[in-house]
Structure 1
Amino acid sequence: MKQLGEIFEDALVACEEGFGEVMIEVSKDDLLDVMKQLRDHDDLAFEQLIDLTVVDYLTYGQDEWATTEATSVGFGRGREESQAVKQAWQRERFAVVYHLLSIAHNRRLRVKCFVKENRPTIPSVIGIWASANWYEREAFDLFGILFTGHPDLRRIMTDYGFVGHPFRKDFPLIGNVELRFDAKQNRCVYEPVSIEPRVLVPRVIRKHKDETIYVAAPEPGGKDG
């Protein structure tokens, strides 16, 4: 950590260590310069991009399943409306996260860069690590992050005509449309989703002595549904 601070100085927004891992945060404007130094500096030599992902902080700090009433035996409800915890997130909604590996020094590093929600753009690092190609396409497809300078930024997991970004926290879990094969038209067609959304209340199942207590899930519409 000290070495990173000496090399990058004011370019680092944050430099932290936790759970045996080092994480640095940089601004979007400094991203490419920092990434190039991380790869090329002899004392760092992070020559490999292991992974690239995105974190959506839309519901960060909100927990509607909090409870303090679970016991060590039997089962208990895991949700009470009055126990809901809500804490507003104060920063940008999305963070692009890079996981780097230095084979020469046997070190790993996590780099985080926040982007704004209204236009989530960030420079592509494909010119630094070629492996970023598919990772950035995946982040664009699932989260809607726009990587400027990417030579072929298009969907990779969903259909090209897919609407929305399914890994965003405000995307419905049941989706917006469903796909089926129409024998009359001899092709696949999209239709409005037919699944009814519902919230299942989890129950805690614990093992007591030599017996395991199994509890069936509540039926939809029942008194426990």
Structure 2
Amino acid sequence: MEFTNNFVQEAITREFPDSVLNISESYGMLTLEIKKEDLKKVVHHMKDSSLNFFFLTDVCGIHHPEMPEKELGVIYHLHNLVENRRVRLKTFMPRENAEVDTLTDLYAGANWMERETFDFYGIKFKGHPDLRVILNDPELGYHPMLKEYRLEDGTRMDKDDTMFGR
């Protein structure tokens, strides 16, 4: 059988029918929105089954302040190097419960990327071996990628946030 996005989608939805909340495909990349509490078991299956998504390309955060139930999210890009197939997984959570299981025990490369996501978005990774600020000043006191901070100096008259899509 050909290793297509439909094949991967069917394999995941068959194994975890209640875990997949939304499915889309943009620019040829399959995107699955997964329940936060089921994310780790889905990723573990994708890595250790015949799907062979054994390379974690990226972990990053996202902030949607206009959606309180899905205000913060974590996006994972997995890659099957043999079939050269990529999959994007997303999980969302309210800001007051911004925590998801770490993937450092599945992918060693998740360590730095999860720390960066924590640093910039404040999302905690439960079970992470050393979750701390790495790129910002530890005394900063806030997470700079959240969309609640001005992008430009408020005293400047020649620029404003609308130039940056806000």
Aligned twin of 2:6: none
TM-score (norm. length: structure 1): 0.63
- Cα distance in 2, alignment partners of residues 153 and 90 from structure 1: 25
Aligned twin of 1:48: 55
Asked if the contact 1:165–1:171 (Cα under 8 Å) also holds between the matched residues in 2, the reply is no
- Cα distance in 1, alignment partners of residues 147 and 107 from structure 2: 29
Matched, 1:155 2:129: no
Aligned twin of 1:200: 159
Aligned twin of 1:84: none
Q: Percent identity?
A: 31
Which has more radius of gyration?
Answer: 1
CA positional deviation for 1:158: 0.6
1:55-66 paired onto structure 2 within 5 Å: 55-59=62-66
Aligned twin of 1:62: none
Aligned twin of 2:120: 142
Aligned equivalent of 1:120, options 98, 102, 119:
98
- Cα distance in 2, alignment partners of residues 143 and 201 from structure 1: 22
CA RMSD of aligned residues (A): 2.1
Aligned twin of 1:169: 147
Matched, 1:35 2:32: no
- DSSP 3-state at the match of 1:30: helix
Deviations 1:97-119 (A, max 9, x none): 00010112211000001021113
- Cα distance in 1, alignment partners of residues 157 and 33 from structure 2: 38
The number of aligned residues is 153
Query: Which one-letter code corresponds to 2:35 in the other structure?
Result: S
TM-score (norm. length: structure 2): 0.84
- Cα distance in 2, alignment partners of residues 26 and 155 from structure 1: 27
- Cα distance in 1, alignment partners of residues 70 and 35 from structure 2: 12
The structure where helix makes up a greater share of residues is 2
Deviations 1:59-116 (A, max 9, x none): 5xxxxxxxxxxxxxxxxxxxxxxxxxxxxx3641011000010112211000001021
Question: Which blocks of at least 5 consecutive residues in structure 1 are unaligned?
Answer: 60-88, 176-194, 203-225
State the 4+ residue runs in structure 1 displaced beyond 4 angstroms: none
